[in-house]
Amino acid sequence: MKSDRFEELEAWIGRTRTSVATIDARQAELMNATMQGRVSKAALCNVAIGSPVPEGWHWAWFQEAFPAAELGRDGHPARGSFMPPIHLPRRMWAGSRLRFHKPLAIGMTASRKTTITSITPKSGRSGDLVFLTLLHETSAEDMLLVSEEQDLVYRADPSPDSSPPPPQLPPSQGPLTLTRQVHPDPVWMFRYSALTFNGHRIHYDADYARRVEGYRDIVFHAPLTATLLMDIARERLGTDRLAGFSFRAVSPLFNGEPFAIRAEATGDRAIAWAETPGGYLAMTAEATA
């Protein structure tokens, strides 16, 4: 990447925006309906005023409402307003590091401040990459509730002769490894996209996912996989709440292809991961109680 282009991108570091949301019972009811039967009963939400919202559900609030004319080809907001004008067309959620200080609660009005903290160009086996990190700080009444560092990666469209990176093996299972099976389907994925106001077309537009971004089918959401891993990690730790959680996406998961999630724990720390149908690593995570 040319240095003058990187200097242009550097000007976006430090930019902030703030969104405000009421943590309403109706949205929580819809999330319950979407997640029921997919997570443990303990991971669903009591929708009474003042009840805590499960970890990971914060992604269902605070989205910016961009009109259709302000969206890019992929369904994300067009770049050049808050997000920098990175020239690489494909955007992926590579991972996040979260701290849960206090729970969001039904009826609460909260704000989320988002700051662009770093922009890093790199060159990989598939060409140029740009890594962008956002810091999301969710607060209510001057009290920090959730802090999240979110890593995004931008890359070029796939070429006809491009090949996926070599698969990674998951951690070895032990006698105390907790395992669940997950069965992605398009209705579940569509409802999750709607609740998180996620317009990324790879999650619901199969023609776009295949022809433009080079996937074999619509892609299961990284934050939805992370939410499932939070739940299995909570169960393995034997706790009602998590203090921290981090995840890294390794390989995509797809509609109609069942996959496994697993968790192991030692003390107040758990590792969790998702495996592709072929038994390779799709996502890795760590949780603390």
Per-residue burial over 117-133, b = 16 or more CB atoms within 10 Å of its CB, e = otherwise = eebebeeeeeeebbebb
**Cα separation of 138 and 164, whole Å?**
36
- Read off the pLDDT of residues 105-139 as tens digits, 9 standing for 90 and up: 999 999 999 999 999 999 877 788 999 999 999 99
CATH of the domain at 51: 3.10.129.10
How many domains does the chain contain in total? Answer: 1
**Mean pLDDT on 60-75:** 93
**Angle 34-72-83 (CA atoms, 0-180°, nearest 5)?**
90
**Mean pLDDT on 240-249:** 98
Return the pLDDT at 177. Answer: 95
Q: Tell me the pLDDT band of 2, cut-offs 50, 70 and 90.
A: very low
- Read off the pLDDT of residues 132-173 as tens digits, 9 standing for 90 and up: 999 999 999 999 999 999 999 999 998 766 777 788 988 888
pTM assigned to the model: 0.95
Q: Which of 113, 147, 117 is nearest to 17 (CA)?
A: 113
**Cα separation of 167 and 158, whole Å?**
18
The packing angle between helices 25-35 and 186-195, to 10°, is 160
Return the pLDDT at 1. Answer: 45
Q: Tell me the pLDDT band of 237, cut-offs 50, 70 and 90.
A: very high
| 254: DSSP letter | B
**Angle 254-258-263 (CA atoms, 0-180°, nearest 5)?**
105
Range of the domain at 81: 3-288
Whether the per-residue pLDDT at 3 is higher than 90: the answer is no
Which residues have CB under 8 Å from 88's CB, separation 6+?
128, 129, 130, 154, 155, 156
Q: Tell me the pLDDT band of 277, cut-offs 50, 70 and 90.
A: very high
Window from 20-24, 80-84, 239-243, 270-274 with minimum mean pLDDT: 80-84
- Read off the pLDDT of residues 178-226 as tens digits, 9 standing for 90 and up: 999 999 999 999 999 999 999 999 999 999 999 999 999 999 999 999 9
